[in-house]
Structure 1
Amino acid sequence: MVPLPLFKLGSLFLRHISKYGANRIKKQAHDHARFRAFAARYGQMMHQLNMRTSVALLRDPEAERRAREKAEAPTVKTEAQTRREEEGKAKEQQKASPAAATTATATATTKQKTTPRRQPFQNIWTRKFRALPEDKAVDLFADVVGDTFILGVAVALILYEYWRSQQKPDSNKEQIEALGKRLDERDGALREAEARLGAVEEALRTLRDAGPKKAVQASLGEAAPT
């Protein structure tokens, strides 16, 4: 009779129970005030980390550089409009007073010489994204903790099953060792049989050689008295 896989059934039961434990953690994250504040705080941190990781994986630095250069580059239309406005103001002020006209001309020259201010490059890992609402931050933290709990139970069961399999004797190894022992015994018996066969052949050879010698000696003994 094949034994029931009790350990595997118990593992499935524990994995199923761990889901209820994860749901219990999620419920406590919303109901318990202190736990809710803790979950909201670290949920925001997880949200920032997720957003930074996603942007870092999906971003295109070359496209960002081209867009930044395009945004910083002054347009010809804007400069022409600025010159026309400044010339119009200078003409109006020149009609009013020569001193004001000189000041306006100097101001226009200064504006033309100024260059657009470059925005400093912002590192993605120090960037602050828009925060989640408190309920969504709590849900995010509860989901991560619940999934971690389920994963931890599964990993613990896998490690225990591995340790348990290492402690059990290896049936294949035992069978191989038994076959090796039987082969050694057969080899010993074969060598012993070969040794006995060699001894029997040597005895037969000795008897075969001794037979004619005895016959010659007997014939010589009969011929000697005559």
Structure 2
Amino acid sequence: MPWQVLLALMAVCYVWGWDDVAGSLALCWGGLARVGEVLAAKRRNLVVPADVGLEALPGPKQVFLSVLEPKTRFKAARHQCLKIDQPQLVEAIIFAFGRLGPEASLWPRSGSALRLRFKKLLAAVGLPIGAVEGVRDFDLASLRAGGATWLMNVTESPDLVRRRGRWITNKVMEIYVQEVSAMMYLPRLEQGQRENLFAWTNSFQSALEFAQWSSSLHLSPSLRHVLLQHGVCNA
């Protein structure tokens, strides 16, 4: 999943009031997390800058997630940790989960509920089932692969990507890193699809700021779409 698609989906989340969905997508894509790891996580497993007194300090911020019962626990380290350091995704994760109580689940609903919302988000940005002929549709597993592919393109460091993704070998990692497929996906969309997708992508930051503003006023997330329909934006 290219980063443009990720940000578009998250922008829709903020308009619809699905902040926890946006945070979950950010964890899976930015932290190269397996979906099940996010579904099983509680707030006490998440470390944000405020938890360690770093929220007011200048410079880049990071978020960490302790993984419960990792899939590779019998072949690699039993205790594993995810790291997210992309600024926009860090901000999204803090906004979604930073104020939860220690025992609160990051995703309090079922996995099927997350999958259903994910499909609705794809349809909203113009990527319904069969959006690109001959190309497999995105699913939740595409988030981890998309994050790994982006990290490989940016760093050109297979060892770093393998460590971040907690893969045992480079051979396993290469199954997830699909550089050519990611590069060719967007050009294969119809022009109208690309324009709609990029409009959502480019609105990500303003959508996040609108969500933060409405949250600061203690407005129900479900009201955001109504507010926007009436032309009410953050001051």
Indicate whether the TM-score tops 0.5: no
TM-score w.r.t. the length of structure 2 is 0.18
* Structure with the higher fraction of residues in helix conformation: 1
Of structures 1 and 2, the larger Rg is shown by 1
* Structure with the higher fraction of residues in strand conformation: 2
Higher relative contact order (CA 8 A, sep 6+): 1
TM-score w.r.t. the length of structure 1 is 0.18
